[in-house]
């Protein structure tokens, strides 16, 4: 309907490459994290609309995550005489339980010596998940967090083929709904209560989403497929909200 209008900070054309998206949306947030300000970037949208391509990309067309890692190390090399400690954690939340292969990366600016400890994928307890879910970047006495998140496909919340998928869809629906509510209340700035504890994702990110300096970006991906028209409309509404 021509009566429906949406307003966003940026709208990228279909042929826009990941580098342009990174420079426009993500790079300022990565730099803020290096300066001590928490940053979070979400990718939201229906399956096959480009979320994972935008966040991870390919070897030929890297996405936001590899671009962010490269920028962090470029900053380290340009800052001689200062010691950096980087801690990287990767995590998947499935049915409100955190899973993940844990990795620790340490780097010194002078020699760029990187040592990676390996650990087998293991189920994370709630306490461990809350303590290690987010990568954090430390510069001198500055501690900050940079969170890069590829959300579940928005249409997954409607999957009801069997009991297992109904449960999965229920958790996804709850998580995405809570995220939308939290971001909406934060943007209003007047809410007395913000429901961070209603989902594992928002609870883990509470410290990074709040505070006077936190910076957040939501990248919503859409597809021109006519079969996904309803989901595309829902994604546009989510982004606008």
Which residues are annotated as part of the binding site for ATP?
A: 45-52
* Residue partners of 68: CB distance under 8 A and separation at least 6: 22, 26, 30, 146, 148
Q: Is the dihedral of CA 190, 193, 198, 200 positive or negative?
A: positive
In a 13 Å sphere around the CA of 83, the CA atoms on its Cβ side amount to 4
Phi, psi (deg, nearest 5) at residue 145? -120, 140
Number of residues in the chain:
241
The two structure tokens encoding residue 221: 């991906």
Binding residue positions: 45-52
């Amino acid at each position: 309907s021509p009566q429906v209008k949406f307003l966003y900070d940026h709208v990228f054309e279909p042929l826009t490459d990941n580098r342009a998206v990174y420079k426009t949306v993500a790079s300022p947030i990565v730099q803020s994290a290096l300066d001590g300000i928490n940053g979070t970037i979400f990718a939201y949208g229906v399956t096959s609309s480009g979320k994972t391509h935008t966040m991870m990309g390919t070897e030929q067309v890297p996405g936001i995550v590899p671009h962010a890692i490269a920028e962090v190390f470029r900053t380290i090399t340009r800052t001689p005489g200062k010691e950096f400690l980087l801690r990287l954690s990767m995590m998947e939340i499935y049915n409100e339980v955190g899973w993940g292969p844990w990795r620790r990366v340490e780097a010194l600016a002078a020699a760029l010596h990187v040592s990676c400890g390996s650990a087998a994928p293991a189920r994370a307890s709630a306490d461990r998940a809350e303590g290690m879910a987010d990568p954090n970047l430390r510069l001198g006495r500055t501690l900050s967090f940079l969170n890069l998140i590829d959300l579940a496909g928005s249409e997954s919340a409607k999957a009801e083929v069997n009991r297992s998928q109904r449960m999965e869809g229920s958790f996804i629906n709850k998580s995405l709904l809570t995220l939308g509510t939290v971001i909406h209340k934060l943007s209003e700035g007047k809410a007395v209560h913000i429901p961070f504890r209603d989902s594992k994702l928002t609870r883990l990110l509470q410290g990074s989403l709040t505070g006077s300096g936190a910076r957040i970006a939501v990248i919503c991906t859409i597809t021109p497929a006519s079969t996904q028209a309803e989901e595309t409309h829902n994604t546009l509404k989510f982004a606008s909200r």
